[in-house]
Amino acid sequence: MKKCLFGGTFDPIHNAHLTMAEAAKKAYDLDQIVFMTAGDPYFKTSEKRITPAAMRLEMTRLAMEGREGFVASDMEVNREGHTYTCETLQELAAAEPDTEWYFMIGADCVESIARWYRPDIIFDIASVIGANRNDQIPKEQLEATASRLREEFGARILLLDWEGGDVSSSGIRESIERGDYSVPVPEKVLEYIKEHELYLQEVDEEAILEELRQMLKPSRFQHTLGVAQTAEELARIHGASPKRARLAGLLHDCAKPDADALGHGPQGAVKAKEHFGIKDQGVLDAIRTHTTGEAAMPLLSMILYAADYIEPGRNKQPRLEQLRREAKEDLDLAVFHISEDTLNYLRQKGGVIDSKTLDVYNYYKSKVKER
C-alpha cells in the first residue's frame, strides 16, 4: 500500500489542492492521499486569524466526498499543542508499518524543509514529493536543492511538475472579504463557508454604533437599529448572510446628515467604504441602492431595500402588515409592492421619481407575473 501525507492549514481547502493531489496520485501510482488538516501550526500562530481547526477539518472532509482515494485525517487536529510533520509521520508509520509513505509539499517548501523541526525523521520515513506548480521554482534551482537534501540527509526527493491556476487560500479569503464568492473551491465547501459566514470582514460593531449614535438624530438612529434587525431577520429566512445584512442595515443611512433623500444611498456607500473601511462590495451595493433600488437586485440588496421600508419603527406606509408578511414569504412580491407604493406616494406628493425606482417596479412586476 502506497499512501501520501498531504498536510496543510486548508483555510480553506481549494481546487488547486485537489488538482495537485490528483497529479501526484497518478504520477506515483499512489493508493491514497491523506489530507492532514493542521491543528495548531507553529509557523502560523502569529497570524491574526486562523479558522478554528474543527471547521477547517470539516471543509476538508466535505472536499473529499466522492473522490476515490482521498481521505481526511483528524490526527493533528486532535493533538494538543503545536503540530510537527515529523511526529505525524512517526504516528502514521507506527500505526501502519507495512505502508510505503510519501509526503507531498509545494516546491517552495523543498527550499525550506531542511530548516523544519527534525527533517531527518521526515526523510527517514517518507519519500518527499516536491510539487512545482507552473514552474514556480526554476527546475535547475529545485534540482540543485534536491541534490543537497539527498546528500545531507539521504533524502528520497521526487519532483513533480504540474499545471495549476493562480489559486491560494489567502486569495480566496480576501475575495470573500470583498463579498466575492466566485472562488475555486468545491461546491459543498462554498456552501459551508456561506452557512458559517467564514472569512467575512471583521468590524467593530460597537464602535460603529457609537459613531452612528453621535452622528444621527435619535429617531434616525432608532430607525437604523430597526433596519439592521429586520435585514438580519430576512437574511436568515432567505438564506443570505445575517452578518452582512446587519452591517448593511447599520450603515445604510450613514450619509444621511450630509445628503438628500435620493443621494444618501450612493453617498452612503462611499462613506461606508472610505470612512468605515468596508470592503464588502455586496454590502456597499446594498447601501447604494437601498432608497431607489434597481432592476435585478442581488439578494442582499433586495433585503436591505425591503428592510428599510418595513422595519418596526415604520407606521405611516400603507399595507405595512401585508408587506412585512410578504417580505418573509415572497421577497420578489414584497419588493414589487414596495416600489409600487413608493411610486404612488411620489405621484401624490409631486415628488421626483427616479428612473431606477421605475426600473424596480417594471422588473419585479414582470417577474411576479411570469410565475
- The rounded percent of the chain whose pLDDT value lies above 70 is 98
- Calculate mean pLDDT across residues 352-369: 93
With a CB cutoff of 8 Å and minimum separation 6, the contacts of 117 are 42, 84, 85, 86
Contact present, 6 and 35 (Cβ < 8 Å) = yes
pLDDT at 46: 46
* Cell of residue 133, nine digits: 506548480
Coil/strand/helix, residue 3: strand
Distance CA 37, CA 162 (A): 22
- The rounded percent of the chain whose pLDDT value lies above 90 is 88
Per-residue pLDDT tens digits for 46-82: 445 789 999 999 999 999 999 999 999 999 999 888 8
Q: Domain limits of the chain? A: 2-195, 205-370
Q: For domain 205-370, which architecture applies?
A: Orthogonal Bundle (1.10)
Report whether pLDDT(253) > 70. yes
Write down the pTM of the prediction.
Answer: 0.91
Find the angle CA(179)-CA(183)-CA(184) to the nearest 5 degrees.
170
Report whether pLDDT(18) > 90. yes
Task: Give, as one character, the DSSP assignment of residue 83.
Answer: B
Q: Beta 100-106 vs 32-37: how paired, if at all?
A: unpaired
Q: Considering only CA atoms, which of 313, 308, 299, 310 is closest in space to residue 268?
A: 308
Coil/strand/helix, residue 70: strand
What residue has cell string 541534490? 147
Distance CA 10, CA 115 (A): 22
Weakest mean pLDDT among 61-70, 257-266, 326-335: 257-266
Per-residue pLDDT tens digits for 286-318: 999 999 999 999 999 999 999 999 999 999 889
* Cell of residue 351, nine digits: 415628488
* Residue type for position 21: A
The band of 330, judged by pLDDT with boundaries at 50, 70 and 90, is: very high
Q: Give phi and psi for 96, each to the nearest 5.
A: -135, 75
Weakest mean pLDDT among 46-60, 83-97, 117-131, 201-215: 46-60
- 11-26: string of b/e by CB count within 10 Å (b at 16+)? bbbbbbbbbbbebbbe
Half-sphere exposure of 319 (CA within 13 A, CB side): 14
- Looking at the domain 2-195, which fold is it? Rossmann fold (3.40.50)
With a CB cutoff of 8 Å and minimum separation 6, the contacts of 72 are 35, 37, 57, 60, 61, 63, 64
Within 10 A of 83 (CB to CB), how many other CB atoms are there?
20
